[in-house]
Amino acid sequence: MIEKELIVVGAGPAGMTAGMYAVRSGLDSLVIEKGICGGLSNEAPEIENYPGLDRVNGMELASKIKEHVTKYVEIRELERVDRIEAKAEGFEVTTDKESYHTKAIVMCTGTRHRRLGIKGELEFLGKGVSYCATCDGFFFRNRNVAVVGGGDSAVRTALYLRSLGCQVTLIHRRDALRAERYLHKKLDEAGVNIRWNSVVKELKGDKVLKSVVIDTRGIEDELPVNGLFVAIGEDPNSELAAGIGVNLDEKKYIITDKSQRTNIKRVYAAGDVTGGVRQVVVACAEGAVAALSAYDDLI
C-alpha cells in the first residue's frame, strides 16, 4: 500500500492545478488519471478566453499545464480509480494498478458527454456519430454534417467543422441559442445553416450513417448527412464521490462550499464535476483553492 497525504482523482485543468498547489504547499501528493491529462478541455478546438493566452487549442493548453505542473507533482495517467473507501485516518484508493492510503482526496473527475438516447445513436457511434469534432472532424472534411445543440460546445463544433470545409447544419430544439453572443455573429458569418425548434428523432444508414430524421414542430423530414456531432451538454462523473457519502445536487454535481470542501471531512472537489461555470479558468482556480483547503486541514 502506497502512503500519500493527498490524492487528486482526475487530471483535467482542475486536478493538475490542485496537484501543483498541494505539492508546493508541502503535501506529499499524487494525481491519478484514467485517461490522459486534460480531460474534456482536450476537445476544445479553440479557447479564446483563458487570460493571457489570446487563442489556444484545448489540447495545447492542457499540454502546457501538464508540462508546468509535472515540475512539481507526479501524475499517473492511464490508471483508473475503481474504488474509494473511508478508513481510519483517511481513505483507501484502489486503482486497476495499485492500492493507496491517503489522508485527503480532491475529486476532479469532470463530466462526460450527454447522449441523445435515440434510435441509431449507438449503432452509428464511430460510423458517423461523434461527440468530439477535434477528434473526428478531420474524417468529415468537405462533407455534409449536422451538429445537435445550442450551447457554446455546439456552436464551436459547428464553426470548427465549417473551417474544415463541411456543409454544416446546426439542429437546435429551441428558437434561441444558449451560446455566448460573441459566437452568434461568427455562426452567421461562417454560413452555418440552422434548423430551429427541431429535434433529431432517429438516425438512419446501413454500414455508416446516411441521414437523420428531424422533427420540426410536429413535421418530420429526413436530412442526408455523413456525420452527426452531438454537443448537448455533459453529465458529472460523481459516482466515486457519492460512494463515500459526498452530497450531490439534483443534477448529480458535487456540492462544495467556497473552500471546495464537501460534506465529508478531508474530501474536496473542483472543476466541472462541481457544476457552475464550466470554464478552464474556473477549474484551475477551484483546483488551487481545494489544494490549499486540504493543506489548511492537514497541517
Interface with ligand NAP (CB under 6 A): 44, 49, 116, 148-154, 156, 173-174, 178, 231-234, 278-279
94 or 216: CB nearest ligand NAP: 216
* Closest separation in Å from C-beta 232 to ligand NAP: 4
Q: What is the CA radius of gyration of the chain?
A: 21
Q: What is the 8-class DSSP label of residue 24? A: H
* Closest separation in Å from C-beta 275 to ligand NAP: 9
CB 102 within 8 A of CB 4: yes
2 or 122: CB nearest ligand NAP: 122
Helices and strands (H, E) in the chain, number of each type? 7, 17
Distance CA 184, CA 180 (A): 7
Phi and psi, residue 240, nearest 5°: -60, -40
Distance CA 270, CA 23 (A): 17
Q: Which residue is nearest to ligand NAP (CB)?
A: 151
3-state secondary structure of 222: strand
- The residues carrying an active-site annotation are 132, 135-136
- If one counts every other C-beta atom within 10 angstroms of the C-beta of residue 78, the result is 11
Provide the β-strand partners of residue 111. 236
Q: How far is CA 12 from the centre of its chain?
A: 8
60 or 297: CB nearest ligand NAP: 60
* Closest separation in Å from C-beta 29 to ligand NAP: 27
Query: Looking up cell 430544439, which residue turns up?
Result: 173
* Closest separation in Å from C-beta 146 to ligand NAP: 12
156 or 266: CB nearest ligand NAP: 156
Distance CA 37, CA 33 (A): 7
* Closest separation in Å from C-beta 133 to ligand NAP: 11
Q: Which of 44, 234, 40 is nearest to 137 (CA)?
A: 44
> Three cell numbers at 148?
445537435
Distance CA 5, CA 82 (A): 19
